[in-house]
Chain A
Amino acid sequence: AQSVTQPDIHITVSEGASLELRCNYSYGATPYLFWYVQSPGQGLQLLLKYFSGDTLVQGIKGFEAEFKRSQSSFNLRKPSVHWSDAAEYFCAVGARTGTASKLTFGTGTRLQVTL
């Protein structure tokens, strides 16, 4: 069965600083990988996804993520964080099982941005 680990529960960065959120996955085949963001009291919004091809994927709001098969990682990055980026970030791995594709989520990383 697939699994996702987000080792950082909480991260604080200053506005304008760079950001990297870590995600490690476990899956036997080529994974489908996702990053979602959840603002307080809101649902989950898709930031970006990796299915195949270029291992560096660009998403919305200036985020990018790099798939590294050798490290089983899919870390999320942003060169300059804005105060509005404060939210919870979830990494997920998707896998086809039976008739449907199912997502397995990590436990999330809460990002705090200081001014």
Chain B
Amino acid sequence: NAGVTQTPKFRILKIGQSMTLQCTQDMNHNYMYWYRQDPGMGLKLIYYSVGAGITDKGEVPNGYNVSRSTTEDFPLRLELAAPSQTSVYFCASSYSPQDQETQYFGPGTRLLVL
């Protein structure tokens, strides 16, 4: 199993551009999450999904959108990039119901908005 994979690893965007961060997991996990990590701030939850077709907002959803059409994929969309969205983005997944709480993380996408 590859686990949780994310693409791209690094991206530079200009203000106002849009992009999609890709996340795929091959563990057949129902639950998937998107976090952002800023220096000295820990990880903040952006969006999460409890299954295909079901998504919900986390702590910091503004400026982002998600969709979940399959169990494996959970892309994160930035529509109008802003400098405040410069961050490292992590995707994670977890299995329900036996061990829903343990989340497994991808390697991250580093995004720079200039």
Query: Which A residues are closer than 8 A to B by beta carbons?
Result: 4, 9, 32, 34, 36, 42-46, 49, 51, 90, 94, 96, 98-103, 105-108
Question: Which of B61-69, B78-86, B105-113 forms part of the interface with chain A?
Answer: B105-113
What separation, in Å, do the CA atoms of A66 and B82 have in the docked complex?
42
Take A90-B42, A107-B41 as given contacts and tell me if A99 and B50 are in contact as well, using a CB distance cutoff of 8 Å: yes
Q: How far, in whole Å, are A9 and B39 apart by their CA atoms in the complex?
A: 11
Cβ distance B9 to chain A, nearest Cβ, rounded Å: 9
CA distance A13 to B96 in the complex (A): 39
Query: With A90-B42, A105-B42 as given contacts, are A100 and B31 in contact (CB-CB < 8 Å)?
Result: yes
B41 cross-chain contacts in A, Cβ below 8 A: 107
Q: Is the interface of A mostly helix, strand, loop or mixed?
A: strand
- Distance in Å: Cβ of A81 to nearest Cβ of chain B: 23
- Contact B48 A102, beta carbon cutoff 8 Å: yes
A-B contact count (CB 8 A): 60
Interface contact B107-A43, CB-CB below 8 Å: yes
The size bracket of the interface on B is: 20 to 34
CB–CB B43/A46 < 8 A: no
A44/B45 contact (C-beta < 8 A), A100-B31, A101-B31 known? no
Pairs across A and B, CB under 8 Å, 12 listed? A34-B101, A43-B4, A49-B102, A51-B101, A90-B42, A100-B56, A103-B45, A103-B101, A103-B103, A105-B44, A108-B40, A108-B42
